[in-house]
A and B are shown apart, each in its own frame.
Chain A
Amino acid sequence: MLIDQVLFYVLAVLILGSAVMTITRRNVVYSAVWLISTLVGVAGIFLLQGAEFLAGVQVIVYIGGIMVLFLFVIMLVPLEEEASQRRFSNQKWLALATGLAVLAMLAVIVVRGIGSLDHPGPAPPPGPASLTQNSEAVGRVLFTEYLLPFELASILLLVAIIGAIVMSKARRRQTES
């Protein structure tokens, strides 16, 4: 169990350190690389908690999909010009307030939940390469208990996709005429 704790703190330092680096770098590509490092750290935390499926999906979706697209767009931006502009706009105070609100929410959850820490849940199965039924459990819950939110999310995504196509088509028609 000691190794679990050590790993947790290593990952925590990785996540927080990378997150700070992400928002302080002047070069956008560096920000993206540090963000990738943050996301890998979060996947590591999922693994540590025995949620292998979530860890795999985290890497595939966020790093393999979203970050690749981010980098694709960043590469088309002239970096010198971008770096000379002001990074933090007037939303600074709003952002600070939002951050503090989230922090307060998390603090409430931690303080309320601290009592249950005295009774740790069932220990994860020991040894390497243990075959838990993690993905099966996620799938079953997703398609029974959480079916409605799941379908709502997919409809939202569909609407977003169609919206993106409509908007890009409209702009093309404008430039053509």
Chain B
Amino acid sequence: MEELLANPYVGPLVLTVAIILVFPLIVGYMVLAERKVLADLQVRLGPMRVGPYGVLQPLADALKLLLKEDIIPARADKWIFWLAPVLSVFTGLTALAVLPLSDRLYVADVNIGILFILAMSSIGALGLILGGWSANSKYSLMGSLRAAAQMVSYEVPLGFATVTAIMCAGTLSMQGVIDSQFERGVWGAFDNYGLMLIPTVLFIIAGTAETNRAPFDLPEAESELVAGFHTEYSGFRWSLFFLAEYAAIVVISALCVTLFFGGWLRPFPNVELLEIPFNTVFPAGLCLLIAFGCLKGVGKQVVPGFRFLMAAIAAAFLGAAGLFVLPLTNELVIGLFWFAFKLGVMVYLFIWYRGTFPRFRYDQLMDVGWKWLIPISMAGLVLNGAVQLLARG
């Protein structure tokens, strides 16, 4: 057993399988969270029927998508039609391999971690383009053309923002970036006397465009293109595209958290005094709050099964609170907690944009990309380089 654990290939392999198994479930609950938050922003309730407050909705949705008839349009190019969603989901999941989930939880810490993520996301873009072309439909083709133009345009400011962050950290390894933020005692976003805020903001904007999320969701603008590049996709193939989109959101958010917001580090990682409030009180309190909310909800449920489910969720969060209180287990999970918490905040922001910003027009999109984001990102790079050279000698 110990021999098995010592093998350098076993740990990453187990984690890879775990990620592939768990990730679709996480995506299902991200979709539920998105629907609930959007509903709340629009003063609706969102899904309420399947399970208490709709908590079983993702499972029902998954079942529906798997059982749906698989339709391939008559004059579609079958091979490419098959290849496109596979390409998208494959690259999306592969990029998860280099994410540093905590100080010891990662599949691989490679010297080109950041380049690897960018490379995978650029191959994933091909899935989108080929998928729209292969369906042999005008709407899909328009969506694909827009996706291609948008990806190429917004990859540039995204790249410049990333380069600025890499320059600040001095390494391309994801763990190395976090280590450098720990050593400098400041999150990447506030480094260089606050000048790093420029690439931070640009990264978030360009990242939203790169993942085709509102207000940059022109490739799938439903008011003009039905559903854009995936108009002709249905059932399982469509759900693969969906999975890929959310994988891209997670990867971009994780990259942003790692480069600019300290990854799995707690806030103020160098201040000893804040160790207990941030590493014990905050996560345990958060879990207790959720458990308390669930317990209050138990009384409102009429169906006995739903009551039991609510009580079970409350118990699970109580257990999680216990994990954070015990020092031994706290040490194991605290990195993962902070990473997941920051990731959650980023994903929440993505949902929030969708609920508040109206979609750009195509020419506005290109204007923002080429005339504003690219020059500003270049200026940010030069400015940060100069300050860094002067300040650090």
Contact = CB atoms under 8 A, between A and B. Distances in A.
Most buried by B among A69, A128, A133: A128
A131 B109 CA distance: 8
A63 B130 contact: no
Interface residues of B, number: 35
A10 to B, nearest CB: 18
B353 interface: no
Interface of A is mostly: helix
A53 B119 contact: no
B145 A68 contact: no
Interface in A118-135: 127-129, 131-135
A128 B8 contact: yes
Interface string A52-78: 110111011001110111011001100
Contact of B129 (A71, A129, A131): A71
B152 to A, nearest CB: 6
Contacts of B145: 72, 75-76
Nearest to B109: A129
Nearest to A69: B152
Interface string B118-132: 110111011001100
B362 to A, nearest CB: 14
B173 interface: yes
Interface residues on A, range: 20 to 34
A133 to B, nearest CB: 7
Contact of A75 (B8, B12, B144, B155): B144
A29 interface: yes
B122 A63 contact: yes
Interface string B147-183: 0110110010000000000000000110000000000
Contacts, number: 101
B9 A53 contact: no
B172 to A, nearest CB: 6
A128 B108 contact: yes
B126 A59 contact: no
B119 A75 contact: no
B111 interface: yes
Most buried by B among A53, A55, A71, A134: A71
A64 B144 contact: no
B204 interface: no
A95 B269 CA distance: 62
B378 to A, nearest CB: 14
A27 B149 CA distance: 22
A64 B123 contact: yes
A71 B133 contact: yes
A106 B299 CA distance: 79
Nearest to A135: B172
A15 interface: no
Given A33-B83, A128-B12, A135-B172, A59 B123 contact: yes
Given A60-B122, A64-B123, A71 B130 contact: yes
A63 B123 CA distance: 6
A60 B126 CA distance: 12
A69 B109 CA distance: 31
Contacts of B172: 53, 135
B110 interface: yes
Given A29-B130, A128-B9, A64 B112 contact: no
Contacts of B86: none
Most buried by B among A29, A59, A60, A127: A60
Most buried by A among B112, B116, B149: B112
13 contacts: A29-B80, A33-B83, A40-B123, A53-B115, A56-B115, A63-B122, A64-B119, A64-B151, A64-B155, A65-B155, A131-B111, A132-B111, A135-B112
- Report the 6 A-B pairs with minimum CB-CB distance, sorted nearest first: A64-B122, A56-B115, A59-B119, A72-B148, A52-B112, A129-B108
